[in-house]
Amino acid sequence: MKRLLGQVAVVTGASRGIGRAIALALAGEGARVVVNYRESRERAESVVTEIRTAGGYAQATQADVSQTRDVDRLVQWTLASLGRIHLWVNNAGADILTGEARTWPAERKWDQVMAVDLKGTWLCSRAAAEAMRGDGGGAIVNLSWDHVAHGMGNPTAVIYAAAKGGVAALSRSLAREFAPAVRVNVVAPGWIRTEWLDGASVEIQERVKDATPLGRSGTPEDVAGAVAFLASPEAAFITGQTLLVNGGVVAS
């Protein structure tokens, strides 16, 4: 039985990687999925095509989650197109590990990650909860990082730890603020085979494997399964919690 049949789910940053896997998983559970993207409409439409080919429902729409005007437009577009919002997944994140962004000055990297990962999660959570509370409630799932509770000693990790640690902290407060109508939970991935890890050296990939009790790096589908669970009726009495998806690298 499909756990999210007919529900409307918005997934930010859903054109690739973990976001794509989440969109596919939610659609597989019967949700009508809004595939949000910031830049690549082509990639977003590819995700929509995958979902539709499998018999699901999806539409793509552009919005920069770090901008209030774009977030409001995304919410209103969803309500106008699909009637309401049952589920919102804040997956969008700034990539400062690959491409041109690797060469940016540290302060520019900091500003970008804070704007997208932290501010974007805050803006979207508030806008989504307002729509949900006025129409029967819903669930929000935010993406954090397992190492915010553990630490990692490099300059890039400091930036992500500050932003993703903020996501974990604000989610606990939002869970209390939005209760009882809206549940807010967090999924904190560890080493996941996204573009950066797939492009890393064999040595780094072996170190990740050796450091993981379950003996492998994670997949985007591993993360998507956790999100689908927290979105489902099976998690109806769970709010304000963080679920680590990391093969045991960091334990809570």
* Residues with catalytic roles: 160
As a whole number of angstroms, the distance between CA 151 and CA 64 comes to 29
186-72-18-184 Cα dihedral, nearest 10 degrees: 10
As a whole number of angstroms, the distance between CA 141 and CA 171 comes to 9
Residue type at 224? A
Instruction: Determine how many CB atoms are found less than 10 A away from the CB of residue 16.
Output: 18
Tell me if 240 sits within 8 A of 172, measured CB to CB: yes
Asked if residue 180 has a cis previous peptide bond (ω within 30° of 0), the answer is: yes
Instruction: Determine how many CB atoms are found less than 10 A away from the CB of residue 20.
Output: 23
Q: How much is the CA Rg of the chain, to the nearest whole Å? A: 17
Tell me if 184 sits within 8 A of 239, measured CB to CB: yes
3-state secondary structure of 135: coil
How open is the CA angle 168-87-25, to the nearest 5 degrees? Answer: 90
As a whole number of angstroms, the distance between CA 150 and CA 81 comes to 42
32, β-bridge pairs: 8, 57
